[in-house]
Structure 1
C-alpha cells in the first residue's frame, strides 16, 4: 500500500511540474519570467518565518523532516500544478483579480458575474486540492497525526508551499498584463501576518478540524470537525479574497495608477512614501478581516498545547527508569506553554531526542487507552521505550 501511495504521489508531482513549466512558466515573456524569479526568491525568504514558527509549534513531538518536506512539496508542486489548470478550465474568461490599473473598477463592474463567481469557486478548488494533501496524511500517518496542533502544522506547511508558487505567479502575471510590478499587493495579499494571513491559515484551519477529529472522544465531533474545519478555511479564503480586492479598489480609486510603482524616480533603492502608505493600510485591512480566524486558530492551538501537556503528565507518571527518571518527570510537571523541557547533563540534541521519544510514547499510550486497546501489548509503545533506552546508552 505504501509503495502504491509513493508511486501515485510521484506521478502526480511529475505531472504537476510539467503543467507548471509548460503552461505557466513557458507562457511568460522573458521580462515577466524575471519578475517571477525575483518574486520566488523573496517568497522563499519570507517563507522561512512561518516555517520556523511551525517548527516551534511542533517542538514537543517533532515529526520527521521528510514529512515536513513532503507536506511543503504537496503545496508547491502538486497543489499548484493541479489547481491552476482546473481553475483555468472553470473560469477561462473571469476577470483576473491581480489586474492593477486606473480602470479596474470599470472592468470589474463589466465582468462582475464571472469575477464574483471566481471569488466563490476558486477558493473552493484551491482548498479542496490543498486539503487533499492533509487528508492523505490524516489517513495514512495515524501515528504522526495526533491532534489539533499536528493538523495545523501539516495544513499550514502545505499552505506555505502553495503560497510560494502562487504569489510568484501572481506578481509575474500582474506585470505581464499591466506593465507594472505591484509589490505592495504582493506583500499585503500573500505575505501578511508573518506568512499566516493567507494560504497557511486557510489550509491550517482544515488541518485543525482533522486533528480535532483524531483528538476528541465525542463521536459526533469526530464526524463534524473535519467538515467544519474545511468550511471555516474556505470562508476565510473567500473573505481574504474579497478584502484583497477591496484594498485594490480603494487604492486605485483614491490615488490612481501612480501608486503601483514602489520606487521614486530619484530613489532607486527606497520605496516611495505612497508605497509604504499602501503597504501599511493594506496590512491593517488584512489584520482586521483575518482577526476572527487567527483568533480561532490561536485559541485552538493554545487548547491543544494544554491537552498535550496533560496527556504527557498523566501517561509518563506511570513510567519508570530507564524510560524516565524522577528528576525528568519534575521537568514534565514544570513544563509551560512557551517552554520546552530539557534534560540536564545531556547535550541539547540528545536531550531533545529523548524528550521527543518520551512524549511520543505518552501520546501513543493515551490513544490506545481511549480506543480500548492495551498499551502494554502495542509494538510501537515497546519501540518508543526501547528508543529511550538506546538513546541513554549513547550519552
Structure 2
C-alpha cells in the first residue's frame, strides 16, 4: 500500500513516540512564548508611523525573498521537499529564531557595553560606539547561528526520512536563513527609525539581500545544513560527528567576518595612525533614506562576493559533488527496477541526466510526469539508505510505498 504523506514524512521519526512528541510541544510552546514576548516588547513603544515603516520594509523584504526562494526551489528539483517543510523552515527562521535571538543579543551587548565602561581605553580605540563595534561580532554569530541552527538540527533529528544528503541540508539551512533575514531586515529599519528618525530602507534591503539574498543568513545557516547533510550522506563514522561541528563553525566564521568589518577597520586605523577613527560631527539622516537601492545592492554584492568567496567555493563544490552522488545513486538503484517503476526508455533518460538537466516522462501531463520522476528518485535514495543501514530493501515499508505510488500514477 502507499503510505499517506504524513506517514512518509514521519517514518522513523522520534515524533512517533507520544512522549517525544509531548516534550517537543512543550519546548516549542516555551520558545513561542519567549519569541512573542520579545516582539511585544520590541513593538510596545512604536508609533503608528513606526508600524507603517515596518510593514513597508516587510513588504519589500518579502518581495526580495522570492529570489533566493526560487534558487533554493531549483536546487531542490530532483527530490523536492514537502511544501510544509518549506513553511516550517521559513517560520522557524522568521519567528522563533529571530524572536529568541532578540533578548539574548541584547543581554550580550549590554554585558559587553558594561565591560567597556570599566575599560575606557577601549573607547579611545573604538570610539563612542565601542559597545556595538565589539559586541556585534560576538553576539550576532554566537546567538543567531545557534537559534537558527537549532531549527535545522530539529529537522535533521525529527524528519530523518526527508533529510538525505548535503543538498537537503543546504536547502533547509538556507530556508531558515531566508526566514530570519525576512524578519530581521524590517526590524533593523524600524529600530533606526525609532532611534534616529531615519528610514534606511534601501540600505538595509540592498545589503541584506545582496547577491540575490544568498550572501548573509542563508549562507551562514546553509553551511551548518551542509555539515548535517554530509553527516547523513557519508559512510565514514568519524565524519558523521565532525561534519556538523565543522559546518556550524564555518557559518559562525562567515557571520563573524560579516559583523567584524567595522572592528577590523578601526583596529587597522588605530594601529597604523595611533588615532581612533574620527567621529562624524553631525548625524546623517535623510540621504540614506533615498540612497538608490541598486547602487547599494551592487556595491554590497561585490564586497560579499570577494569577502565570502571561500565560503561560496565550499558551498559550490559540495553541492556539485552532492549532485554527482545523487545522480549516481538514482542510476544504480533504479537499474534493477522494471515496470511499473520505470520503463526502459525512462532509464535511458536517467543515464543521460546532467547537472542542469531535468528529465521528464513522455506521454504524461506535466504534473503527472513530475510526480513520477519524484517518486522514482525518492525510491532510489530510500533504497540506498536502507542498504547503508544493513537492512532488507524488500521489507522496507517506504520502498514498497514508493513502488505502489508509481503503479498508481501510471494507472
Band of TM-score, shorter chain = 0.7 to 0.9
Is 1:146 the counterpart of 2:153 in the alignment?
Answer: no
Matches within 5 A, 1:298-337: 298-337=316-355
The equivalent of 1:377 in structure 2 is: 395
Is 1:23 the counterpart of 2:41 in the alignment?
Answer: yes
CA distance in 2, matches of 1:12, 1:120: 25
Q: How far did residue 77 of structure 1 move?
A: 1.0
Specify which of 155, 158, 172 is matched with residue 176 of structure 2: 158
The equivalent of 1:100 in structure 2 is: none
Structure 1 ranges of 4+ moved more than 6 A: 244-250, 252-256
The equivalent of 2:287 in structure 1 is: 261
**What whole-Å deviation, never above 9, does each CA across 1:51-109 have from its counterpart, x for those lacking one?**
111111111111110011011110111111111111112222667xxxxxxxxx98952
**TM-score, length basis structure 1:** 0.87
**What whole-Å deviation, never above 9, does each CA across 1:194-245 have from its counterpart, x for those lacking one?**
0001001000000000000000111111111000000000000011112377
CA distance in 2, matches of 1:167, 1:114: 17
The equivalent of 1:281 in structure 2 is: 299
Matches within 5 A, 1:2-17: 2=15, 3-4=21-22, 7-8=25-26, 10-12=28-30, 14-17=32-35
Residue 124 to residue 325, structure 1, CA distance change in 2 (3 Å) = same
CA distance in 2, matches of 1:244, 1:45: 29
Q: How far did residue 276 of structure 1 move?
A: 5.8
Q: How far did residue 29 of structure 1 move?
A: 3.0
Task: List gaps (5 residues or longer) in structure 1.
Answer: 96-104, 264-270
Contact 1:243 1:286 in 2 (8 A): no
Contact 2:173 2:222 in 1 (8 A): yes
CA distance in 1, matches of 2:74, 2:294: 31
The equivalent of 1:207 in structure 2 is: 225
CA distance in 1, matches of 2:374, 2:324: 17
The equivalent of 2:8 in structure 1 is: none
**What whole-Å deviation, never above 9, does each CA across 1:149-180 have from its counterpart, x for those lacking one?**
00000011100001111111111111222222
Residue 31 to residue 201, structure 1, CA distance change in 2 (3 Å) = same
The equivalent of 2:235 in structure 1 is: 217
Task: Count the aligned residue pairs.
Answer: 376
DSSP 3-state at the match of 1:92: helix
Residue 150 to residue 114, structure 1, CA distance change in 2 (3 Å) = same
The equivalent of 2:192 in structure 1 is: 174
CA distance in 2, matches of 1:119, 1:60: 38
CA distance in 1, matches of 2:262, 2:74: 29
Residue 6 to residue 349, structure 1, CA distance change in 2 (3 Å) = farther
CA distance in 1, matches of 2:279, 2:79: 50
Task: List gaps (5 residues or longer) in structure 2.
Answer: 1-13, 16-20, 114-122, 270-277
CA distance in 2, matches of 1:170, 1:248: 23
CA distance in 2, matches of 1:24, 1:123: 21
Is 1:339 the counterpart of 2:340 in the alignment?
Answer: no
Is 1:357 the counterpart of 2:383 in the alignment?
Answer: no
CA distance in 1, matches of 2:374, 2:218: 25
Q: How far did residue 181 of structure 1 move?
A: 1.8
Q: How far did residue 248 of structure 1 move?
A: 12
Q: How far did residue 318 of structure 1 move?
A: 1.1
Contact 2:169 2:222 in 1 (8 A): yes
Contact 2:136 2:260 in 1 (8 A): no
Q: How far did residue 294 of structure 1 move?
A: 1.3
DSSP 3-state at the match of 1:261: helix
User: Whose RCO is larger (CA < 8 A, sep 6+)?
Assistant: 2
**What whole-Å deviation, never above 9, does each CA across 1:293-324 have from its counterpart, x for those lacking one?**
11211111111111100000000001111110
The equivalent of 1:52 in structure 2 is: 70
CA RMSD of aligned residues (A): 2.8
The equivalent of 1:65 in structure 2 is: 83
Contact 1:94 1:111 in 2 (8 A): no
Q: How far did residue 139 of structure 1 move?
A: 0.7
CA distance in 2, matches of 1:13, 1:111: 31
Deviates more, 1:349-358 or 1:284-293: 284-293
Q: How far did residue 111 of structure 1 move?
A: 4.5
